[in-house]
Structure 1
């Protein structure tokens, strides 16, 4: 093998690697992987313990049961509440202390969600 063949073979391999990464990092694959991580976070939030005394009332929907993941504008992936007052409970108000559940759970298990996203991207 002469020197020119050696370099062209190396460049061909490099080009294959670049094409493989381009395919893996298409916007739709990235969004799908992020959606998997967001859905797992939403499932974990819905699995948090709830006060059982209030749940038995008819028509009662606990705030944690309304948490879901969705795709927003411009390909953003959002995890949020189905109730308008969810952010108020999470962050608190002037008259009510914060009761964080979404942010705290994400901080605690963030590596789990990141690994899930990476596994989805690189399989």
Structure 2
């Protein structure tokens, strides 16, 4: 395989190791399809998170929970927010405590996502 699968967020070491092992056994496209299947399942779970009532009532406002999405490029899959302040909520700032969404949900359901990806690769 010419390109290596890489992940940039801490806490996903087991996931990265598993995906590299699978990537050695299958084509790059099929491995990426498997990652996308698991990531889509993750996004579906994120979209089902309860939405705390927002103090913003302006027309056209979209709650951050409704902005979770995945993006597939030629060589990777990204899962994240559709609002610029999503990473600030996930990791906190000097002036704001952490209000994580991604990591806790992933940790809670990671076996489900692993299973989905394995099914995609091995049928």
TM-score (norm 2): 0.74
Distance 1:108 1:98 in 2: 18
Distance 1:78 1:41, change over 3 A: same
Q: What does residue 27 of structure 2 align with?
A: 26
Distance 1:40 1:55, change over 3 A: farther
Q: Is the 8 A contact 2:92 2:98 kept in 1?
A: yes
More helix by share: 1
Q: Is the 8 A contact 1:35 1:71 kept in 2?
A: yes
Paired residues, what number? 101
Q: What does residue 84 of structure 2 align with?
A: 84
Q: What does residue 110 of structure 2 align with?
A: 110
Q: What does residue 60 of structure 1 align with?
A: 61
Instruction: Mark the runs of 5 or more structure 2 residues left unpaired by the alignment.
Output: 1-21
Q: What does residue 47 of structure 2 align with?
A: 46
Distance 2:54 2:44 in 1: 22
Distance 2:56 2:62 in 1: 7
Instruction: Mark the runs of 5 or more structure 1 residues left unpaired by the alignment.
Output: 1-20
